[in-house]
A and B are shown apart, each in its own frame.
Chain A
């Protein structure tokens, strides 16, 4: 299970962290869109 690949993903660590945070926000935005589009517990179905 050893690995010799030891480069930061996406070029550098700061860029990698920025991408992780952007993806996390993207997930939340996607779920929010999903809720707005389909979840209507009190309104019209």
Chain B
């Protein structure tokens, strides 16, 4: 990055931190620290909801996903609008009927302290680990791309976010989220314009779509599932069932509906946003803002990734995107192994560029289109083969037995595609802005998580169990100390994640184990008015056990765990409630 880009980037960081610190004025009670005094307008809360969901991995990972597999991921969001409507009708009145500060307070009013505490602990454990990933995953990419040591990147972002969140509370979180979201949208629009300026004059807009269509990357809706086997298969089975498919209309709409209901309705990170509005109607508007904006935005981000692919088809795609892979591939003896792969890749890339022009103009015959598709597959295979060789030549992996080497997964460089484009092809000044957008996405998720973790720790644990008689000033002081501790814990966890790719995958999946069950216990509270404290705890545990049993015994995609957890709670909670009534 040039000096000017660094200046733009640093100016953005200073602006965000100063703006966050300014919000400390008037933040002198738990009500203002965690609910902003219930004075936040719907549009600010709505933008904060979107910014909280848009992590840096959403920006760099989703564009990378568009590049690699096309637009199919957008289907995960098909259930979002319907979830927001259901939340507005059923959840918002529950949350806004009482002046609660966390979602789990509602559970105590309905099921007693055990269910509330269990739900709060589930949230704290799963979110704390996820918080470390929110800081770590993009830091790895950004430190590799910018040449800053990983420790400094994690410490820098962790410290800045903890500073303004601790001082300013949720007001600082929402005020900075609004600005961060605008920077994210601005950065993405800028990239869209830059890509269109490169691609459209070369191929024409319809021509560009024709080329992308031939690659199959415009696969935004898939109604017909690949498998019509509706009986879930046992874990380890070679047969794929309907429940194994990650991205199609059905899993996106139904599985996505439950995921979004759980995330926006039961995760304190998001629920806290709708507790900051003056009225229930404003909370509804904040939720519905996402319902309108999220699908087009997500489709737009994925389309950016698809356009990025087309850009590299015209420019010649690199064999490796991760700078650490590029460095290793240049050293002997790996360089001699990579050379033939590179030659094959170069040949495929040349063919792609030549045939893309023919397809775009509509002059390509069937044989040329088939040759183009073969070149797409060859280019992708060569990239994967090169990454595989980089892995196998790693001293640690090279020392393993062949069977162990075979078991190692080929490293993925999807998250490096977008930053590679920004740093190699975006003009000066704009690079600083785009980097600011990526860091904005990182901070906007981290600050919300930090404040939500603090809110639940203080309201559901400290004030409920440890110091019920604490004064407002003592509780606020404890909140600030807890916020710093959570910031330190997450930063420490992020640093511990170094070199543990598989751990991160597991952490990302942890949320799926609990989310559906959390949703289930809230639904149980609504649909079973006679269900008591025992039903709440048994239902919650039963839901989590249902998900665990499904994970151990059946081969089912993670999106469906939310449905299974929710149904599990209703079944176990319902049965426990029936027994309670009989006694």
Determine whether B446 belongs to the interface, using a CB cutoff of 8 Å to chain A.
no
Query: Which residue of B is nearest A23, CB measured?
Result: B292
Given A27-B296, A31-B221, A17:B89 Cβ within 8 A: yes
Binds A, one of B54-62, B128-136, B279-287: B279-287
Interface residues of B in 65-89 (CB under 8 A from A): 74, 78, 80-82, 84-85, 88-89
Total residues of chain A contacting the partner, CB 8 A:
27
Residue in chain A with minimal CB distance to B209:
A38
B282→A28 contact, CB < 8 A: no
Closest Cβ of chain B: how far from A30's Cβ, in Å? Answer: 9
The answer, yes or no, to whether B278 is at the interface (CB within 8 Å) is: yes
B285 in contact with A28 (CB, 8 Å):
no
A9 touches B44 (CB 8 A): no
A1 touches B299 (CB 8 A): no
Asked whether, in the complex, the Cβ of A8 is within 8 Å of the Cβ of B278, the reply is no
Partner of A41, one of B39, B80, B219, B221: B219
Q: Which residues 1-41 of A have a CB within 8 angstroms of B?
A: 1-3, 6-9, 13, 16-17, 20-21, 23-24, 27-28, 31-32, 34-35, 38-41
Interface residues of B in 363-386 (CB under 8 A from A): 364, 366, 369, 372-373
A3→B43 CA distance, assembly (Å): 9
Whether a CB of chain A sits under 8 angstroms from the CB of B213 is: yes
Say yes or no for B569: interface residue by CB 8 A criterion.
no
At the interface, yes or no: B391 with Cβ under 8 Å from chain A?
A: no
Q: How far is the CA of A7 from the CA of B282 in the complex (A)?
A: 9
How many angstroms from the CA of A1 to the CA of B220 in the assembled complex?
37
The residue that B42 contacts in the complex, of A3, A27, A35, A44, with Cβ under 8 A, is A3
Cα-based distance from A42 to B82 in the complex (angstroms): 33
Say yes or no: B78 contacts A28, CB within 8 Å.
yes
- Which of B41, B78, B221, B291 is the one whose CB lies under 8 Å from A2? B41
- Spell out B's residues near A (CB within 8 Å): 36, 39-44, 74, 78, 80-82, 84-85, 88-89, 174-175, 209-221, 223, 249, 278-279, 281-282, 284-285, 288, 291-292, 295-296, 299, 359, 364, 366, 369, 372-373
Chain A interface (Cβ < 8 Å from any Cβ of B): 1-3, 6-9, 13, 16-17, 20-21, 23-24, 27-28, 31-32, 34-35, 38-42, 44-45
- Could you list 9 A-B pairs, sorted by A, with CB under 8 Å? A6-B279, A8-B284, A21-B81, A24-B80, A27-B295, A35-B221, A39-B218, A41-B216, A41-B219
